[in-house]
Amino acid sequence: EEEEEEEEEDGDGDEEEDDTSCCLWTCQVKVLEISGYRGTWRELKQMRHFLGKLKYLETVNIGLHQQVKSFSYLRVTSDLKKLRPSCQMHFL
């Protein structure tokens, strides 16, 4: 029974951080540059964190990894655009 509780607490790791433990709220970053983006679950989770916490962010320049195939390009780009529609995203 204890193991079940631990699994529920751990879940998939999407628990929201306590706002006081994240310094990104106060950062006045307006442009974020990412290189070698593949669109993995872990990378998407990191991008969700950045886009959710960097309140001054206006533009994200994303350099896609060369292994991102044309059939996955649409999925990768649309997933990111959904995270913060008000932010300009440029895929390089």
Question: What pLDDT, in 10s, does the model give residues 1-49?
Answer: 444 444 334 344 444 445 556 777 788 999 999 999 988 889 989 999 9
pTM of the model: 0.68
Which residue do the tokens 């959904």 mark?
A: 82
The CA-CA-CA angle for residues 61, 68, 75, to 5°, reads 75
Helical H runs in 1-92? 2-10, 41-53, 70-83
What b/e sequence results for 2-36 when a residue is b if at least 16 CB atoms lie within 10 Å of its CB, and e otherwise? eeeeeeeeeeeeeeeeeeeeeebeeeeeeebebee
Fold of 23-91: Rossmann fold (3.40.50)
Structure tokens at 88: 């300009």
